[in-house]
Structure 1
Amino acid sequence: MYEVEVGLDPAFTVGTVDERLFGSFVEHMGRCVYGGIFEPDHPTADEHGFRRDVAELVRELGVTTIRYPGGNFVSGYRWEDGVGPVDERPRRLDLAWRSIEPNTVGVDEFCRWARGVGVDPIMAVNLGTRGVDAAVDLLEYTNFAPGTTSTADRRVANGHKDPHAIRTWCLGNELDGPWQVGHKTADEYGRLAAETARAMRRADPDVELVVCGSSNGAMPTFGAWERVVLEHTYDLVDHISLHAYYEPADGDVGSFLASSEDMRRMIAAIAATADHVGAVRRSSKRLTISFDEWNVWFQNRFAGQAGLELTENGALIEDVYSVTDAVVVGDLLMALLDNCDRVAIACQAQLVNVIAPILTKTGGPAWRQTIFHPFALTSRYARGTVLRTAVATRDLATQRYGDVPATRVTAVHDPETGALTLLVANRDRTEPAALTVPLRAFGSSLRLLEHVIIADDDPSATNSAEHPDRVVPRPATNTVVDGDRLTATLPPLSWHLIRLGR
């Protein structure tokens, strides 16, 4: 057993958690929409065709915002196809995922569903095959009051009198990637994004705009893309996006468990790049990051877009997640929280079926994957002010990231109630850790409310329709608050939520 000691003080803070850090992502891809959130023939379907059992799990997950409708899908999407009488909507070929899009679910249906499950939509506009006009038209359609424009009145005529009031908009998706329909150079995209942002701000000055950053940290243009794009758009946008997916490449589980080190480095690099552009422009503005696609995704099991057969609503990348994956996801959430001074928005991709915390069977049950649990616990309890932590722990050697901390600790404090939430990941696969957290800086009245753990003797254990609760958070034992000190034991390969309060 190795020792871990954590230094904390409520006076030393990172920043306040923006609730949009607990976002998700719904793309017209595979069975995320059709057969996921929407299945009119399902026994639990509501009057609009959306599955009530899935909606209940979405509420339990604690998602606060959902990015829509893509993803790669948006780069060829005509939003007008998905509004108006459903039986008059065209069936279209989606080039991104080689599927037939029936357009049964569109902007209106999604926004109504999102508000019904208590989340705010984030809307992406097509800057792959379209541009300024289509983006402004969509903004008018969703946000303008009845009687202001004919486009707004079109929404009213379609049965939606009240505006959808969408606050946050993504200016395209992953246009640095050669796989993207409408792929552009940084200069080409930056100029189009600036033109679109300028027009959208004239239409609605209160929108928040996200400009596309790199689609992953391995892109040869990483960093340079952001610099060029921001030279065009810095004064017009609020956030720059980042995307990252992680898997145990070549069976390297040790590096996989340290994935959040890469996420942390990406955030630092792009924040520095944005600050450089701001400094050159003599700007007092400080851009934040929208990490609007992140998750564990076993891309080595995916043949790629080029090898897809033409389908309609076919299953696509429905990865099944293990205890190990849940520990990684929990650790990635901690990295986002630890950078809440620069990361304002984050969206786990995706919500249902497609690399998702929720899986469904057509006509059958919906259940929680292992990665559901760290997200739900973090969203529920990690609200308030993130504290700076000083963690004394052993190092682990990894092939990809060098020496990394064996244990990561994130602390979130509520200054009003005095509540303290600790998120802890033990990345060591063989050794337990003895955790000690001095609490004297918080006064003498903190008591242990709860300590739950995600761990298992079998780190490859998963949940399924037949065994949906094989892996669930379980109460930890031998956790004690004695005076001004907390002590706990962290089993190997485990993720923890520890709550303290008055």
Structure 2
Amino acid sequence: MKARVTAHSAFTVADIDKRIYGSFLEHLGRAVYTGIYEPGHPTADASGMRGDVLELVRELDTPVCRYPGGNFVSAYNWEDGIGPKDQRPKRLDLAWRTTESNQVGIHEFADWAEKAGTEMMLAVNLGSRGLDEARAFVEYVNHKGGTYWSDLRAKNGRKDPWNCRLWCLGNEMDGPWQVGHKSAAEYGHLANETAKALRGLDPTLELVVCGSSHSGMPTYPQWEATVLEETYDQVDHISLHMYFENYEKNTREFLALPEKLDTYIGTVAGVIDYVKAKKRSKRKVTISFDEWNVWYHERKADAERMRDWDWPEAPVLLEDIYNFEDVLQVGCILNTFIRRADVVKIACIAQLVNVIAPIMTEPGGAAWRQTIYWPFLFASKHGRGTAMQLAVEVPGYTADHAAHVPWLDIAGVRDDDAGTLTFFAVNRNGDEPLEVDLALDGFAARTVEHTLIRHDDLEARNTKDNPDNVAPVKGDGAAIGGKGLQLVLPPHSYSMIRVGL
């Protein structure tokens, strides 16, 4: 099978906001407790944060981390997580039917984020609470001093403000499962008034308003239109969420889901433009895709388990063990965000550790990379710069979500500072290699490197005992020739091609 791709120096999409390689930590399962935080672990620092996990997070170089939720935030009292640890209350978490110890709160998370080299993306509770609590939280985190909340922060051990810039106005408020679920009009009004109050504290904040939890919601996309009509002049981003499932074990349909993702992004981008035009606004609102990942391996079984358990602390929950097939999916998702860099400015893989995550840990033991760690690492490290507008000619197939799903999924990034072009390519075809003629118009290739992830078994997984079962290797399928490159991409494979100019 053959494909032709053209990259032209004059045709680009937009500069890529590095925050599309963001992450997410929720007080859910073992994401926090025995995930990032485990006092007594052999690698733990004085704050109880696991050093082995910090090393893996730093390697990913994720620019922002969303916290503390997620569904958890919609019934969370942020004040429970401040002050002496032995005086912090235990609370029942309604989202995941667990008990929250509050041993990790804003101070601990902020210190961890600084060590991890990531910026905080904090969420306020607009489910069970509202404007006043959100205002107090921002004042506690960001005000320099001399007020009740900022002085309390200093009393609790942090004199200087953290100056968190990015704030989420609640979470998935369109969802009936959400504590404090609201209609679009109710939520839009509350979010707008909260945004106005927060801008009164600091007009430079970036604010994210809730969009649809997924594109199958019955209120989508009217939800976006109603909420944005209420909030457009006060917010910077609207959030979207999507999880990718393969319950039917149909690889072709599974790998076609990024086409649905692309349509989702395009539809909401159109709603943004509609509201902007209706309001005669010069303001540009963009998309924060702040929850995304493959999620189905343990989802149904854990939903059954949750109904029966008795409010445990930090239980094993939603710990999907990812396979090689998921590498291909995550590669396609990240490629979609790169190709939509003009409108997607933030994206957060959900989540970072243990819970549907690229990093797994054993309490008291090892930490290791899941299969999906690798495409996320490559995109985060080498997917920064300018998204290229590629012309792609390749056969495809018909799926439930798209009439034409190209066998080749590819995105290109130009980094002028480094003098490189990087292409991320997924061969969706499991039966045939793809011979790709990649023309470089206006570029002169000097060197080319090919990194390949492939496994004969789509179900192959990484485990504590075999952590490198699915891992990148040096490929030999790329060569300079003619006016560009010739690539051979093996069946069902993920490739990163780095071109020195």
Equivalent in the alignment of 2:464: 465
Pair 1:354 & 2:331 matched: no
Describe the shift of the 1:253–1:159 C-alpha distance in structure 2 as closer, same or farther (beyond 3 A): same
Equivalent of residue 264 in structure 1, options 256, 262, 265: 262
Equivalent in the alignment of 2:488: 489
Equivalent in the alignment of 1:11: 10
Equivalent of residue 250 in structure 2, options 249, 252, 263: 252
1:196-235: CA deviations, max 9, x gaps? 0000000111100000000011101111000011111000
Equivalent in the alignment of 2:434: 433
Shift of residue 63 of structure 1? Answer: 1.0
Cα distance in 1 between the residues matched to 2:414 and 2:29: 39
Cα distance in 2 between the residues matched to 1:306 and 1:131: 28
TM-score normalised by structure 2 residue count: 0.98
1:453-479: CA deviations, max 9, x gaps? 111111111000000011101111142
Verify the 8 A CA contact 1:26 1:69 in the aligned structure 2: yes
Equivalent of residue 160 in structure 1, options 158, 161, 175: 158
1:377-396: CA deviations, max 9, x gaps? 11001111001011110112
Q: Which moved more, 1:426-435 or 1:474-483?
A: 474-483
Equivalent in the alignment of 1:372: 373
**Aligned ranges for residues 184-203 of structure 1 at < 5 Å?**
184-203=182-201
1:397-416: CA deviations, max 9, x gaps? 22343321110111100234
1:142-183: CA deviations, max 9, x gaps? 001022x11001111110111111010000000100000001
Shift of residue 66 of structure 1? Answer: 0.3
Verify the 8 A CA contact 2:352 2:359 in the aligned structure 1: yes
Equivalent in the alignment of 1:226: 224
Equivalent of residue 172 in structure 2, options 165, 171, 174: 174
Verify the 8 A CA contact 1:15 1:386 in the aligned structure 2: yes
Equivalent in the alignment of 1:452: 451
Cα distance in 2 between the residues matched to 1:454 and 1:257: 16
TM-score normalised by structure 1 residue count: 0.97
Cα distance in 2 between the residues matched to 1:214 and 1:249: 23
Cα distance in 1 between the residues matched to 2:4 and 2:149: 59
Equivalent in the alignment of 1:142: 141
Shift of residue 484 of structure 1? Answer: 2.5
Cα distance in 2 between the residues matched to 1:275 and 1:45: 48
**Aligned ranges for residues 16-415 of structure 1 at < 5 Å?**
16-147=15-146, 149-298=147-296, 299-303=299-303, 307=307, 309=309, 310-415=311-416
Cα distance in 2 between the residues matched to 1:356 and 1:268: 27
Describe the shift of the 1:455–1:113 C-alpha distance in structure 2 as closer, same or farther (beyond 3 A): same
Q: Match for 1:473: what amino acid?
A: P
Cα distance in 1 between the residues matched to 2:441 and 2:195: 49
Q: How many residues align?
A: 498
Cα distance in 2 between the residues matched to 1:29 and 1:107: 16
Percent of aligned positions that are identical: 49
Cα distance in 2 between the residues matched to 1:190 and 1:416: 42
Verify the 8 A CA contact 1:71 1:173 in the aligned structure 2: yes
* SS of equivalent residue, structure 1 residue 438: strand
Verify the 8 A CA contact 1:255 1:401 in the aligned structure 2: no
1:243-302: CA deviations, max 9, x gaps? 000011322221111221111111000010111011111112221000000000004444
Cα distance in 2 between the residues matched to 1:304 and 1:196: 36
Verify the 8 A CA contact 1:96 1:305 in the aligned structure 2: no
Cα distance in 1 between the residues matched to 2:401 and 2:302: 22
Moved over 4 A (4+): none
| Structure 1 runs not aligned, ≥5 long | none
1:398-444: CA deviations, max 9, x gaps? 2343321110111100234431000101111211100111124213x
Cα distance in 2 between the residues matched to 1:69 and 1:59: 20
Cα distance in 1 between the residues matched to 2:302 and 2:257: 20
Cα distance in 2 between the residues matched to 1:439 and 1:417: 17
Cα distance in 2 between the residues matched to 1:105 and 1:256: 37
Cα distance in 2 between the residues matched to 1:273 and 1:440: 35
Cα distance in 1 between the residues matched to 2:303 and 2:120: 31
Describe the shift of the 1:44–1:414 C-alpha distance in structure 2 as closer, same or farther (beyond 3 A): same
Q: Match for 2:303: what amino acid?
A: A
Shift of residue 133 of structure 1? Answer: 0.6
Shift of residue 362 of structure 1? Answer: 0.6
Cα distance in 2 between the residues matched to 1:399 and 1:376: 30
1:335-362: CA deviations, max 9, x gaps? 0011011001000000000000000111
* SS of equivalent residue, structure 1 residue 31: coil
Verify the 8 A CA contact 1:26 1:349 in the aligned structure 2: yes
Pair 1:418 & 2:419 matched: yes
Q: Which moved more, 1:20-29 or 1:246-255?
A: 246-255
Verify the 8 A CA contact 1:31 1:353 in the aligned structure 2: yes
Verify the 8 A CA contact 2:72 2:95 in the aligned structure 1: yes
Shift of residue 308 of structure 1? Answer: 5.2
Verify the 8 A CA contact 1:327 1:454 in the aligned structure 2: no
Shift of residue 306 of structure 1? Answer: 6.4
Cα distance in 2 between the residues matched to 1:355 and 1:67: 15
Equivalent in the alignment of 1:442: 443
* SS of equivalent residue, structure 2 residue 334: helix
Cα distance in 2 between the residues matched to 1:383 and 1:22: 9
Describe the shift of the 1:306–1:194 C-alpha distance in structure 2 as closer, same or farther (beyond 3 A): farther
* SS of equivalent residue, structure 1 residue 378: helix
Verify the 8 A CA contact 1:391 1:408 in the aligned structure 2: no
Verify the 8 A CA contact 2:90 2:101 in the aligned structure 1: yes
Cα distance in 2 between the residues matched to 1:430 and 1:476: 19
